[in-house]
Structure 1
Amino acid sequence: MTTVGNPGSTTAEYERAPSRFTDRITADGRDGWPAEAGRYRLVVSRACPWASRALVVRRLLGLEDAISLAVVDPLQDERSWRFTLDPDGRDPVLGIAFLGEAYAARDPGHDGGISVPALVDVPSGRLVTNDYAQITLDLATEWTALHREGAPDLYPEPLRDEIDEVAEDVHRNLNNGVYLAGFAKSQRAYERAYRNLFACWDRLSERLSTRRYLVGDTITEADVRLFTTLVRFDAVYHGHFKCNRNKLAEDPVLWAYARDLFQTPGFGDTVDFDHIKRHYYRVHTDINPTQVVPLGPDASGWSAPHHREELGGRPFGDGTPPGPPAAEEVPPRGRAGAPGA
């Protein structure tokens, strides 16, 4: 996640910069990066929906002991993501103050964006990949030898075409659609993004009115990708990005679906509403020049009953839910109902 996508764009439409580093960490190490416990560090911002996908998948698959976690400050400076939440302002494992240092170790000439999620090779300190779309798929399919016992299959082979189709619609019109609306530089570009977003919204609401999950009867990659946008919608996208036809809490189907996932181990326990709101409202000064962060909305509703179990489905299929998160990985603020949420 970067703050402005492609800052060099001269068009009225927001353009998301593509992932620059797309090496893959695989079981056979064919790109030179084998899946090994303890070798890589996942760097995330809890504010970022793209990084949050990796947080959720890592929890669901039980990869916490295999891949260590670094959380950056939700506020950036001119050098982008920084480790000011850690003692002495440095990541205790990588020893760096800015994520950009891992990018420079990979490519000293890199002058593009510094984005999360990022997987960094601990021995060399080099960035391996910032390909947010591929990272979670590889965690699900290439790291299976290190999955916890009872880990779900988030990308089942018989359903991959359908998952990809649904995920592409969600990405184009909702995941990225909120940014197309929020960063639009003309009324026409904004209205186009707004209409596409809510057309997709209505398709999803109809689809989920009769089924608990997007594809099949268990949680898949498609649900992870939708959740990380929905959980930010009322807190940020509805007002800050002008996606205000309706709130998530005003759609009975999607609101219940989002609460169902939020209350599922591995989803809500990765969410930090404080980081989310402070990042968007304080970093996007072109949209919110005062940098005032709203106190609402009330997050306690995320804990309300959802009744989605009446639709059937088995969240983890033949598997089991993950155990509680490690104490040091529980967001300290911004949990549902917590002060400052």
Structure 2
Amino acid sequence: MGQTAGEFVRETKYLDGRITADGRDGWPVQPDRYRLVVARACPWANRTMIVRRLLGLEPVLSMGICGPEHDARSWTFDLDPGEVDPVLGIHWLREAFEKAVPGYDRGVTVPAIVDIPSGAVVTADFPHITLDMEQEWTAYHRPGAPDLYPAPLRDEIEEVSGHVYRDVNNGVYRCGFASSQAAYDEAYARLFARLDWLEQRLADRRYLVGDTITEADVRLWTTLARFDAVYQGHFKCNRNKLAEMPVLWAYARDLFQTPGFGDTIDFVQTKQHYYRVHTSLNPSKIVPDGPDLSGWLTPHGRAALGGRPFGDGTPPGPVQPTEVVPVANTALAA
């Protein structure tokens, strides 16, 4: 199918170095050598935060957190003292991209993994970052870490995730940044057709693939978590709210209440990012006060479907003190 006039097309030419157990690409897995750079607002970065936490990689892979806003130049470390990342010693994330590629002229994106000794970005290829955490960093997984990418289910995980990426993860952006009515209409129809498909798929199964949490659930959840707070209004994805789709809303709450998911999202920073950065959609930069977040903490009833969240593994421990989301920015404040 050809591209519709006015359709949003995502930039996918990422810096794509691979950090591997055997170092075959020149970047061997090593404790304390790399820094994962994220922003809590970003769903693609949120994936890496969840996987890092579920696998217990915090002691060997440090994390720098950019602020919720950026301009055309770069994400910035404006949450840190002096607005400088304490490990990398930089204010602009662009500096790490330019150390990797002098004169770097593409978008500066999160997540990114930076080689601390050189200060250069190794990779910003978000689909591979989590897969490599799951497959290449196994020597440093915590005891009881779940298998998020089990070999027998990988084909199904990728098949389901392909639909989810095209129509939901990227689909909300295709709605929000469409520049023609036809492109918006097409993206809107595909988004809600896929959400209806997911509503049916999850009606009698607790998780997307198999009976445990997998990479597929991580990929879907970060979009669902932002749906009512941002996409439903800001991106014109307004057929209904997530909270009005009983199965998906219960599924999203189930994961939100699972350690490693809800404790990684900052709803205030998420809204600040979308409503203040996308000035073409929201010139006033006014950030909405809603929605009410208290529903995230209500019983979901999904355990009745069976399934074991962590398979033969165990939940992750408490969030690292330096990575705790302020209570005022969470559903606990509702």
The TM-score, its normalising length taken from structure 1, stands at 0.96
The alignment status of 1:134 with 2:116, answered yes or no, reads no
Tell me the residue number matched to 1:196. 190
Which residue identity does 2:115 align to in structure 1? Answer: D
Paired residue for 1:308, among 302, 316, 325?
302
Tell me the CA shift for residue 328 of structure 1. 1.2
Q: Map 1:133-172 to 2 at 5 A.
A: 133-172=127-166
Paired residue for 1:76, among 70, 78, 91?
70
The alignment status of 1:261 with 2:255, answered yes or no, reads yes
**Alpha-carbon distance in structure 1 between the residues aligned to 2:63 and 2:119:** 14
Paired residue for 1:238, among 227, 232, 245?
232
Deviations 1:292-314 (A, max 9, x none): 00000011110100010000000
Q: Map 1:1-341 to 2 at 5 A.
A: 11-332=5-326, 333-338=328-333
**Alpha-carbon distance in structure 1 between the residues aligned to 2:83 and 2:310:** 38
Tell me the CA shift for residue 59 of structure 1. 0.4
Deviations 1:16-55 (A, max 9, x none): 0014211110111111011111010000010000000000
Tell me the CA shift for residue 10 of structure 1. 11
Deviations 1:257-305 (A, max 9, x none): 0000000000000010001000000100000001100000011110100
Tell me the CA shift for residue 322 of structure 1. 0.2
**Alpha-carbon distance in structure 1 between the residues aligned to 2:247 and 2:191:** 16
The TM-score, its normalising length taken from structure 2, stands at 0.98
- Local SS of the residue matching 2:113: strand
**Aligned partners of 1:25 and 1:35 also within 8 Å:** yes
- Which segment is superposed worse, 123-132 or 10-19? 10-19
Matched length: 331
| Structure 2 residues not aligned, in runs of 5+ | none
**Alpha-carbon distance in structure 2 between the residues aligned to 1:78 and 1:111:** 11
**Alpha-carbon distance in structure 2 between the residues aligned to 1:64 and 1:90:** 21
**Alpha-carbon distance in structure 2 between the residues aligned to 1:264 and 1:10:** 39
Tell me the CA shift for residue 64 of structure 1. 0.5
- Local SS of the residue matching 1:170: helix
**Alpha-carbon distance in structure 1 between the residues aligned to 2:271 and 2:152:** 38
- Cα gap change, 1:173 to 1:145, in 2 (>3 Å): same
Which residue identity does 2:104 align to in structure 1? Answer: H
Which residue identity does 2:325 align to in structure 1? Answer: P
**Aligned partners of 1:298 and 1:337 also within 8 Å:** no
**Aligned partners of 2:5 and 2:183 also within 8 Å:** no
**Aligned partners of 1:19 and 1:132 also within 8 Å:** no
**Alpha-carbon distance in structure 2 between the residues aligned to 1:192 and 1:239:** 18
**Aligned partners of 1:181 and 1:243 also within 8 Å:** yes
**Alpha-carbon distance in structure 2 between the residues aligned to 1:19 and 1:96:** 24
**Alpha-carbon distance in structure 2 between the residues aligned to 1:92 and 1:76:** 19
**Identity within the alignment, %:** 65
**Aligned partners of 2:255 and 2:261 also within 8 Å:** yes
| Structure 1 residues not aligned, in runs of 5+ | 1-8
Which residue identity does 2:278 align to in structure 1? Answer: H
What RMSD over aligned residues (CA atoms) do the two structures have, in Å?
A: 1.2
**Aligned partners of 2:175 and 2:236 also within 8 Å:** yes
